C-alpha cells in the first residue's frame, strides 16, 4: 500500500495492529521499494517513448520551400500543450526538484511524483537518494503523528 498511495499506509498499518517501529519500517520499506521500481520503470518508459513513439505521435506536415520555390513536405515534431502538460510544467517550474521530491510521497503519490522527477531531473545522479530520503522522512513523520493521536 505504501508504494502506491503512501498517505494512507501508516493509518492502515496501525489499524492492522502493528506498533510504531513495525509501522515505520513497513511503510518506509514499501515506499522505498515503490520509488526504486517506479524510478527504473519510468526511465525505461521514457527511453522506449523517445526511441519508438515520439516521432510517431508528434509529427506534423509543413511546407518547406527549396531554392526553386517548390513546396516540399517535411515532417517536424509538433508541440502540443494540454491542460495536464501545463499543470505539470507549472508544478515543475514553481517548486523545482526539491518541491517535487518533498511532495512526492504525500500529495503526488509515489508513481506520479517519481515519474515527474525522473522526466525532468534524471540528470541529477542523487535523485533516487533524495526520493528515498523523502519517503523516510514522511514515513517517520506520519507514523509519529498517527501514533500520538
In a domain, 62, yes or no: no
What confidence score (pLDDT) does residue 132 get?
94
- pLDDT above 70 covers what percent of the chain? 79
Considering only CA atoms, which of 83, 90, 135 is closest in space to residue 109? 135
CB-facing half-sphere around the CA of 84: CA atoms within 13 A? 2
Question: What's the pLDDT band for 13 if we cut at 50, 70, 90?
Answer: confident
How many domains does the structure of the chain reveal?
1
**What is the residue whose three cell numbers read 508541440?**
79
| Confidence at residue 43, expressed as pLDDT on a 0 to 100 scale | 92
What confidence tens digit (pLDDT) does each residue in 18-33 have? Answer: 888 998 998 999 999 9
Nearest to 132 by CA among 30, 7, 13, 35: 35
Per the domain annotation, does 65 fall within a domain?
Answer: no
3-class SS at 71? strand
Is the pLDDT at 117 greater than 60, yes or no? yes
Is there a domain that residue 108 lies in? yes
Chain segment 55-95, per-residue pLDDT in tens = 655 555 555 555 565 555 555 555 667 887 788 788 888 88
Task: Tell me, yes or no, whether 72 lies in a domain.
Answer: no
> Does residue 24 lie within any of the structural domains?
yes
The answer as to whether 60 is a domain residue is: no
In a domain, 121, yes or no: yes
What's the pTM value of the predicted model, to 2 decimals? 0.75
Q: Which domain holds residue 27?
A: 6-54+80-148
Q: Does residue 45 fall inside a structural domain? A: yes
| CA–CA–CA angle 69, 73, 78 (5° rounding) | 125
The answer on pLDDT for 1 being more than 60 is yes
Amino acid at each position: 500500500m505504501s508504494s502506491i498511495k503512501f498517505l494512507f499506509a501508516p493509518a492502515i498499518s496501525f489499524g492492522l495492529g502493528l506498533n510504531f517501529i513495525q509501522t515505520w519500517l513497513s511503510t518506509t520499506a514499501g515506499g522505498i521499494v515503490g520509488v526504486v521500481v517506479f524510478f527504473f520503470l519510468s526511465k525505461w518508459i521514457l527511453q522506449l517513448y523517445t526511441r519508438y513513439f515520439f516521432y510517431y505521435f508528434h509529427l506534423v506536415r509543413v511546407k518547406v520551400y527549396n531554392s526553386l520555390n517548390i513546396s516540399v513536405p517535411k515532417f517536424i515534431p509538433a508541440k502540443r500543450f494540454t491542460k495536464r502538460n501545463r499543470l505539470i510544467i507549472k508544478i515543475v517550474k514553481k517548486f523545482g526538484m526539491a518541491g517535487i521530491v518533498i511532495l512526492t510521497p504525500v500529495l503526488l503519490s509515489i508513481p506520479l511524483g517519481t515519474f515527474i522527477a525522473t522526466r525532468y531531473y534524471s540528470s541529477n545522479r542523487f535523485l533516487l537518494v533524495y526520493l528515498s530520503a523523502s519517503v523516510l522522512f514522511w514515513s517517520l513523520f506520519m507514523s509519529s503523528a498517527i501514533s500520538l493521536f
